């Protein structure tokens, strides 16, 4: 496997999802969301900064939003490559995918769950990420990026998986400069228009492994001392009689990309022993999976202040 192979794989996942005609309004709205993100990346971003020329970096923290964006980004990288190849006078066999690793930056300030750390490690291998990780707890986020740019001086723009519904997300736009007090670079935010349900729909369809904490009721993963499973997903005693909460993504899970026979298993990374003990000791094990929640306004209900 190479970065080229996984990019082609992500391209196939995306095209397969775009070809779905199951009559679901959610799938249709996610297809629209994908088309707009692809337009932003292919027409506005890659035409401005060469994705094969070290001018673009990808911000990755293991969360579901940046994983969805990574799948779409790699898919567009593949499309950009094959379009260039097709337009070239030389036969396609003479073209080599110009990148071996994707320049990636992981700014990590709080102490995180080691299940998340392990899932970032798996992503590093699976998606051929060349990850710069900031020294933990030493600096503010702007300082961490300043340090990143000292090491990666060719980076002009950083791709971020922020959405309008995230805190401070409402007034952002796809391509903009950083604010004052931040080092100067361009922010590329092609996922702004996505809803929580859009994110889960393609992510569960992709059949890519996701962080195991999501299966345990987490919906937005922050620091270990400030995140619990989402209280809106707590399994209540009367759930058994009222059939509980319904999984809104049964179709995506059973028809996931590459599944030979329909089955309702989601590929999740294993919870580490330490996180298993933590959740058990704090009585936080009886929750529906994170993808049972599609209400954007409750997405961060598991983020707490201690």
Residues that bind ligand FMN (CB under 6 A): 59, 158, 160, 162, 166, 168, 178-179, 182, 187
Q: Please state the closest distance from residue 109 (CB atom) to ligand FMN, in A.
A: 9
Q: Please state the closest distance from residue 99 (CB atom) to ligand FMN, in A.
A: 20
- Complex with ligand FMN: residue 77 or 162, whichever CB lies closer: 162
Specify whether the backbone of 159 is left (phi greater than 0), alpha (psi in -120 to 50) or beta.
beta
**């190479």: which residue's tokens?**
2
| Cβ-closest position to ligand FMN | 178
- Complex with ligand FMN: residue 192 or 204, whichever CB lies closer: 192
Q: Contact 107/144 with Cβ under 8 angstroms?
A: yes
Closest Cα to residue 302, out of 219, 213, 195? 219
For residue 253, give the 3-state DSSP assignment.
helix
- Complex with ligand FMN: residue 48 or 267, whichever CB lies closer: 48
Q: Please state the closest distance from residue 69 (CB atom) to ligand FMN, in A.
A: 11
- Complex with ligand FMN: residue 63 or 78, whichever CB lies closer: 63
- Complex with ligand FMN: residue 105 or 202, whichever CB lies closer: 105
- Complex with ligand FMN: residue 31 or 61, whichever CB lies closer: 61
CA dihedral 115, 121, 127, 133 (to 10 degrees): 110
Closest Cα to residue 61, out of 147, 101, 121, 9? 121
Q: Please state the closest distance from residue 175 (CB atom) to ligand FMN, in A.
A: 12
Dist CA 212 CA 275 (whole Å):
10
- Using the Cα atoms of residue 115, residue 120, residue 125 and residue 127 in order, give the sign of their dihedral: positive
Q: Please state the closest distance from residue 151 (CB atom) to ligand FMN, in A.
A: 15
Q: Please state the closest distance from residue 273 (CB atom) to ligand FMN, in A.
A: 26
Dist CA 37 CA 163 (whole Å):
12
């Amino acid at each position: 496997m190479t970065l080229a192979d996984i990019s082609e794989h992500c391209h196939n996942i995306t095209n397969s999802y775009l070809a779905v005609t199951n009559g679901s309004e959610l799938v249709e709205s996610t297809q629209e969301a994908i088309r707009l993100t692809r337009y932003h990346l292919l027409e506005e971003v890659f035409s401005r900064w060469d994705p094969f020329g070290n001018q673009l970096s990808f911000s990755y923290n293991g969360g579901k939003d940046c994983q969805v964006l990574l799948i779409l980004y790699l898919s567009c990288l593949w499309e950009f490559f094959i379009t260039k190849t097709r337009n070239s006078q030389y036969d396609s066999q003479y073209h080599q995918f110009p990148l071996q690793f994707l320049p990636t930056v992981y700014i990590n300030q709080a102490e995180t769950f080691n299940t998340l750390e392990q899932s970032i490690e798996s992503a590093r291998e699976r998606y051929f990420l060349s990850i710069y990780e900031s020294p933990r707890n030493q600096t503010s986020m702007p300082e961490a990026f300043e340090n990143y740019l000292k090491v990666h001086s060719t980076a002009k723009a950083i791709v971020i998986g922020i959405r309008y519904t995230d805190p401070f997300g409402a007034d952002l736009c796809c391509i903009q400069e950083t604010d004052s007090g931040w080092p100067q670079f361009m922010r590329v935010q092609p996922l702004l228009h996505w809803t929580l349900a859009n994110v889960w729909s393609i992510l569960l369809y992709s059949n890519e492994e996701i962080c195991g904490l999501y299966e345990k009721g987490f919906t937005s993963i922050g620091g270990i001392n400030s995140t619990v499973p989402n209280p809106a997903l707590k399994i209540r005693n009367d759930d058994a009689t009222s059939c509980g909460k319904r999984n809104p993504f049964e179709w995506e899970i059973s028809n996931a990309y590459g599944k030979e026979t329909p089955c309702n298993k989601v590929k999740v990374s294993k919870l580490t022993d330490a996180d298993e003990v933590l959740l058990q000791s704090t009585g936080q094990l009886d929750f529906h999976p994170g993808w049972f929640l599609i209400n954007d306004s409750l997405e961060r209900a598991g983020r707490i202040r201690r």
